[in-house]
Structure 1
Amino acid sequence: MKIAIFGATGRVGSRVTNFALQEGFEVKALVRDIEKAESMISGAQFINGEATDLIAVEQTIEGCDLVFSALNTDKTDTLSTAKPLIIQTMLKHDISRIITIGTAGILNSRFEKGKYRYQSNESKRRSTFAAEEHEKAYQALNKSTLDWVILCPTYLPDGDSEGKVRYEENYLPEDGKKITVTDTALFALEEIKKEEFHHTRVGLSY
């Protein structure tokens, strides 16, 4: 399998990319800084460019079987701008499967019906910009004909695998407080391999 990866030098993205290469998958990754990418990842094919550039997106996706995105908001509209371009290009090249990393803020509120967590008192964040960007990306996928899944970890500290990951579709597992970057990446790798979820958000925590 050949995987197109966006956000390959980020905290989750770099781990997923390295795990995928260790599993024997081929990887094409769109990166802004190839020198930085090569220092973090060995064995991938790098495309230099921006995720908001349709030509760079197409160069990355063409010839692949699956798309994985760990793009974050980075205090810009990169995520909401890039996601429609990725969807458009996947449809053009007849690639149906995409797995992305989202945020627990776009999961359903367990206590306030009809709201996302970031809109409810379940969220402690004062700024909602990042969650709003992730919501736009979710809505774009939800309106598409793609076979998508958004993995939505809660508080995401660095750290090794702690195991015993809990998950729930469209909600954060009850009393979920955190999950490490490594365990999030390992969960994503398993989803790449097993394709267990379809057209859904998946809340992740311990």
Structure 2
Amino acid sequence: MNITLFGATGRVGSTILREIEKEHQVTVLVRDASKLLSTTSLKIIEGSILDERLVEEAIENADMVISAIGTDKTTTLEESIGYITNAMKEHGVNRIITIGTAGILQSRTEPSLLRYQSSESKRRLTFAAEQHEKVFRTLEQSSLEWTIVCPTYLPDGNAKGNYRVEKDFLPEGATEITVGDTAGFACTLLQSNAFNRSRVGIGY
């Protein structure tokens, strides 16, 4: 399978890359190729995710897109999703898996709200969640086959394998999930439509 991966030098993205490059042809668009942990079998495009031409070049031969772009205290996430979805439509690519945040899952206590908008959220700053919500709304309004993996507190760490997942909600009592398990779960979605057009909460 030809997979385009955005965010390949980040914590979750680099872990996903290690998994998928073993069995798939991977194209990455990165600002700094020297930060890639592996380059042996990759097609590397160096430049900005906000360069629409480069985004289209990265996606043109893809069967699937994975986005692990972080918020980075900028509006990059919000701006780039439009370029990504437009390029996918242009080249007939239907499947996208993105890494989001538990803040954009539905609140259990206030079901009409997202978690970051409700009393469930303990975070004072909502900018990152707002950016992820804009990605969610863009995908929700598209005809694409999308899944947003929504981890709660995300410490570094290898996969343990004993995580729980739930469609549109954070599993009850979940407080954290490692980078390794978040990336590992995202990779299981390459061959599964179980959470098509859904957010997925993940945690221990």
TM-score range, shorter chain: over 0.9
Among candidates 40, 57, 60, match of residue 59 of structure 1: 57
AA of the residue aligned to 1:46: I
Matched, 1:191 2:151: no
AA of the residue aligned to 1:9: T
Say if 1:164 and 1:41 are closer, same or farther in 2 by CA, change over 3 A: farther
- Check conservation: 1:9, 1:31, Cα contact below 8 A: yes
2:124 aligns with: 126
Show structure 1 runs of 5+ residues with no match.
none
User: C-alpha distance in 1, partners of 2:35/2:98?
Assistant: 22
Question: What SS does the aligned partner of 1:5 have?
Answer: strand
User: C-alpha distance in 1, partners of 2:148/2:35?
Assistant: 27
User: C-alpha distance in 2, partners of 1:103/1:123?
Assistant: 12
User: C-alpha distance in 1, partners of 2:186/2:144?
Assistant: 18
User: C-alpha distance in 1, partners of 2:52/2:88?
Assistant: 12
Question: What SS does the aligned partner of 2:28 have?
Answer: strand
Question: What SS does the aligned partner of 1:87 have?
Answer: helix
- Check conservation: 1:2, 1:27, Cα contact below 8 A: yes
Show structure 2 runs of 5+ residues with no match.
none
Deviation string 1:148-200 (CA, Å, 9 cap, x unpaired) is 00000000000111221100000000000001000011101111122322000
Q: Higher mean Cα deviation, 121-130 or 187-196?
A: 187-196
User: C-alpha distance in 1, partners of 2:134/2:165?
Assistant: 23
User: C-alpha distance in 2, partners of 1:200/1:50?
Assistant: 28
Question: What SS does the aligned partner of 1:115 have?
Answer: coil
- Check conservation: 1:103, 1:153, Cα contact below 8 A: yes
Q: Residues 103-122 of structure 1 correspond to what in structure 2 (within 5 A)?
A: 103-122=101-120
Moved runs in structure 1, 4+ residues, more than 3 A? 39-42
1:140 aligns with: 138
Q: Residues 43-82 of structure 1 correspond to what in structure 2 (within 5 A)?
A: 43-82=41-80
Among candidates 155, 158, 169, match of residue 156 of structure 2: 158
Q: Residues 177-188 of structure 1 correspond to what in structure 2 (within 5 A)?
A: 177-188=175-186
Report the alpha carbon displacement of residue 40 of structure 1 after superposing the two structures with TM: 4.5
AA of the residue aligned to 2:20: A
- Check conservation: 1:5, 1:67, Cα contact below 8 A: yes
Instruction: Tell me how large the CA RMSD over aligned residues is.
Output: 0.9
2:32 aligns with: 33
TM-score, length-normalised on structure 1? 0.97
Query: How many pairs does the alignment contain?
Result: 204
Percent pairwise identity = 49
Among candidates 76, 87, 90, match of residue 88 of structure 2: 90
